[in-house]
């Protein structure tokens, strides 16, 4: 073409963007500017939809004045909100002369994703004042953002809005409601929503099965799975992973093996979360050799999969295999996370590897800047305590960045009993009875310790007005 108009340039930019060739879209834009072709709002919208250099495009829109066009500023609000730049998106929205549903919905979705439910409610109130209505996508975003008990009442209110507006009849919204109620273990509400649905696609079956497992009702999940197959639905990877978690809860090895057979017969990819779920299931059902075979069958195990096998080896006292898996993971360039180090530290504890445990605890904090949680501390305290290094263990507890819980102190008490450290045991027991007076395990430990030394723990039970038989 001898003369290329802005329409031609925009067409090229849009075509590259739609085919995910983002850098090429930006190169066309640069060439367009070099040929002194003036961009318009369509150019900006095409570049934004192509996810091409957001900051540069934003600056260009400001420099040329195109940001004053409603379509451009709305698109910028949406893109910044989608990328998590909520504050900037809010500033742009507030600068709009005319508020519109698209940008306000984008803000609501961004706030919900970050869990800022208070701001979601404020935006929703503003939407009501402007006589706007939520769409299904925004409603689902809000429902997924309601995760904490303090927000449950707000979730109920949005459910009411969904019923009144008719949105709850939408399949996506119904699934969002199922997920929300599942988060709060409101399984009866989940069942009510599910069985009221006229059409039950696979995603809905997956939502309710996952909700049952999450609430500890894995038997119900398995019954639903049988019903799902009767209705002609074939399980996908999400269904399988949820049910495998249920097998872990029930120790249901046979059902887990049936699911594994289904995966193999239907050529489902045993990768990522399905492989991880299979390893976890076999580990917790007492078949570490099967877990190992699954792990070795995976071509490129992800971090979660490697964490699962490390934890499995640790659980079975195969500390050298656990550490070997860690070193192999590092050789493949994968960066360990909190779960990795929890498995590694547990392996060191079970194997009595004091030097290695100290080293990994140090590496976790200094090399990877991972702040230890209570589980990490409990492992290290148990490791040091079992080795008779009580002073070092006590120093670690005293210098903890967080308040020790009953698991941390209980690990030290258990070690004190092994080494017959009565005074230390008494000191720890007082703290533990205060933290968790209903834990009979602590009384048993002290009873065993006193039995060796000729003491009696029943007086302590009487003092705390606690009976082991109720």
Lowest mean pLDDT among 100-109, 196-205, 248-257, 426-435: 426-435
As a whole number of angstroms, the distance between CA 221 and CA 236 comes to 15
At 52, the pLDDT band (50, 70, 90 cuts) reads low
Two tokens at 414?
């258990």
As a whole number of angstroms, the distance between CA 327 and CA 356 comes to 13
Q: State the pLDDT at residue 81.
A: 80
Dmax (CA) of the chain = 102
Domain of 444 in residue numbering reads as: 371-470
Tell whether 336 is covered by a domain: no
Tell whether 165 is covered by a domain: no
With beta carbons less than 8 A apart as the criterion, state whether 86 and 78 touch: no
At 460, the pLDDT band (50, 70, 90 cuts) reads low
Lowest mean pLDDT among 58-62, 281-285, 426-430: 426-430
Q: State the pLDDT at residue 351.
A: 93
Cα 343-345-346 angle, rounded to 5 deg: 65
CB neighbours (10 Å) of residue 367?
Answer: 9
Percent above pLDDT 70 for the chain: 86
Lowest mean pLDDT among 225-229, 319-323, 433-437: 433-437
With beta carbons less than 8 A apart as the criterion, state whether 253 and 289 touch: no
Query: Which contiguous run of DSSP H or E holds residue 59?
Result: helix 54-64
Where is pLDDT greater, at 104 or 251?
Answer: 251
pTM of the model: 0.74
At 100, the pLDDT band (50, 70, 90 cuts) reads confident
As a whole number of angstroms, the distance between CA 39 and CA 6 comes to 7
Report, as an integer, the average pLDDT of 364-370.
94
Assess whether pLDDT exceeds 60 at residue 321.
yes
Q: State the pLDDT at residue 178.
A: 92
As a whole number of angstroms, the distance between CA 315 and CA 291 comes to 12
Tell whether 467 is covered by a domain: yes
Tell whether 435 is covered by a domain: yes
What is the DSSP-derived secondary structure letter of residue 84?
T
Assess whether pLDDT exceeds 80 at residue 445.
no
Tally of helices (H runs) and strands (E runs) in the chain:
28, 0
With beta carbons less than 8 A apart as the criterion, state whether 313 and 288 touch: yes
Assess whether pLDDT exceeds 70 at residue 398.
yes
As a whole number of angstroms, the distance between CA 107 and CA 120 comes to 8
Tell whether 465 is covered by a domain: yes
171 half-sphere exposure, CB direction, 13 A CA radius: 9
Where is pLDDT greater, at 66 or 424?
Answer: 66
Lowest mean pLDDT among 55-59, 137-141, 383-387, 465-469: 465-469
As for how many domains the chain has, the answer is 1
The pLDDT tens digits of the residues spanning 76-96 come to 777 778 777 788 787 877 777
Cα 344-348-351 angle, rounded to 5 deg: 135
Highest mean pLDDT among 38-52, 58-72, 379-393: 379-393
Report, as an integer, the average pLDDT of 164-177.
91
What lies within 8 Å, CB to CB, of 460 at 6+ separation is 429, 433, 443, 446
Cα 318-320-323 angle, rounded to 5 deg: 110
Report, as an integer, the average pLDDT of 308-332.
95
Q: State the pLDDT at residue 238.
A: 92
Tell whether 432 is covered by a domain: yes
Characterize 127-148 residue by residue with b for buried, 16 or more Cβ atoms within 10 angstroms of its Cβ, and e for exposed. Answer: beeeeeebebbbbbbbbbbbee
Q: State the pLDDT at residue 469.
A: 45
At 452, the pLDDT band (50, 70, 90 cuts) reads low
Average pLDDT of the chain? Answer: 84
Tell whether 439 is covered by a domain: yes
Two tokens at 210?
């996952």
Report, as an integer, the average pLDDT of 135-156.
90
Assess whether pLDDT exceeds 70 at residue 342.
yes
Percent above pLDDT 90 for the chain: 43
Query: Which contiguous run of DSSP H or E holds residue 368?
Result: none
Where is pLDDT greater, at 221 or 404?
Answer: 221
Q: State the pLDDT at residue 470.
A: 42
- Provide the sign of the torsion angle of the four alpha carbons 254, 255, 260, 262, taken in this order: positive
Q: State the pLDDT at residue 248.
A: 94
At 440, the pLDDT band (50, 70, 90 cuts) reads low
Instruction: Please name which of 255, 257, 178 lies closest in space to residue 219, comparing C-alpha atoms.
Output: 255
Q: State the pLDDT at residue 379.
A: 93
Tell whether 28 is covered by a domain: no
With beta carbons less than 8 A apart as the criterion, state whether 345 and 373 touch: no
At 468, the pLDDT band (50, 70, 90 cuts) reads very low
Characterize 282-311 residue by residue with b for buried, 16 or more Cβ atoms within 10 angstroms of its Cβ, and e for exposed. Answer: bbbbebbebbbebbeebeebebbbbbbbbb
Highest mean pLDDT among 35-44, 184-193, 420-429: 184-193
Two tokens at 25?
């879209």
The pLDDT tens digits of the residues spanning 266-305 come to 877 776 789 999 999 999 999 999 999 999 999 889 999 9
Report, as an integer, the average pLDDT of 17-23.
71
As a whole number of angstroms, the distance between CA 129 and CA 435 comes to 50
Assess whether pLDDT exceeds 80 at residue 16.
no
Cα 157-163-164 angle, rounded to 5 deg: 90
């Amino acid at each position: 073409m001898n003369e290329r108009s802005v329409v031609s340039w925009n067409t090229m930019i849009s075509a590259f963007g739609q085919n995910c060739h983002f850098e090429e879209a930006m190169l066309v834009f640069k060439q367009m500017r070099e040929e002194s072709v003036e961009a318009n709002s369509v150019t900006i919208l095409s570049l934004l939809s192509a996810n091409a250099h957001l900051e540069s495009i934003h600056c260009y829109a400001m420099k040329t004045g195109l940001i004053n066009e409603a379509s451009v500023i709305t698109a910028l609000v949406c893109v910044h909100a989608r990328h998590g730049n909520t504050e900037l998106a809010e500033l742009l929205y507030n600068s709009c002369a005319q508020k519109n549903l698209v940008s306000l919905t984008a803000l609501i979705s961004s706030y919900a994703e970050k869990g800022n439910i208070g701001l979601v409610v404020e935006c929703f109130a503003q939407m009501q004042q402007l006589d706007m209505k939520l769409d299904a996508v925004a409603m689902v975003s809000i429902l997924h953002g309601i995760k904490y008990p303090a927000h449950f009442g707000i979730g109920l209110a949005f459910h009411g809005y969904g019923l009144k507006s008719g949105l709850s009849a939408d399949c996506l919204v119904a699934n969002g409601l199922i997920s929300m109620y599942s988060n709060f273990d409101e399984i009866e509400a989940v069942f009510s929503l599910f069985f009221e649905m006229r059409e039950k696609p696979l995603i809905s079956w997956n939502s309710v099965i996952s909700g049952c497992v999450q609430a500890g009702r894995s038997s119900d999940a398995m019954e639903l799975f049988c019903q799902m197959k009767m209705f002609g639905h074939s399980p996908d990877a999400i269904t399988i992973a949820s049910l495998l978690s249920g097998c872990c809860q029930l120790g249901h090895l046979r059902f887990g093996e049936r699911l594994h057979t289904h995966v193999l017969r239907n050529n489902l990819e045993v990768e990522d979360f399905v492989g991880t779920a299979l390893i976890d299931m076999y580990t917790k059902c007492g078949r570490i050799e099967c877990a190992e075979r699954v792990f070795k069958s995976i071509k490129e195990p992800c971090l979660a999969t490697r964490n699962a096998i490390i934890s499995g080896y640790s659980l079975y006292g195969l500390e050298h295999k656990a550490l070997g898996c860690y070193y192999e993971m590092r050789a493949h360039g994968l960066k360990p996370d909190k779960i990795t180090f929890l498995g590694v530290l547990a392996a060191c504890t079970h194997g009595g590897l004091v030097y290695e445990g100290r080293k990994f605890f140090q590496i976790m904090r200094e090399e990877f800047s991972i702040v230890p949680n209570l589980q990490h501390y409990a492992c290290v305290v148990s490791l040091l305590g079992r080795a008779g290094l009580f002073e070092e263990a006590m120093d670690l507890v005293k210098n903890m960045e967080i308040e020790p819980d009953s698991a941390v102190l209980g690990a030290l008490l258990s070690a004190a009993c092994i080494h017959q450290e009565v005074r230390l045991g008494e000191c720890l027991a007082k703290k533990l009875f205060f933290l968790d007076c209903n834990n009979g395990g602590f009384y048993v430990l002290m009873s065993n310790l006193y039995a060796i030394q000729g003491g009696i723990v029943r007086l302590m039970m009487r003092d705390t007005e606690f009976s082991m038989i109720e």
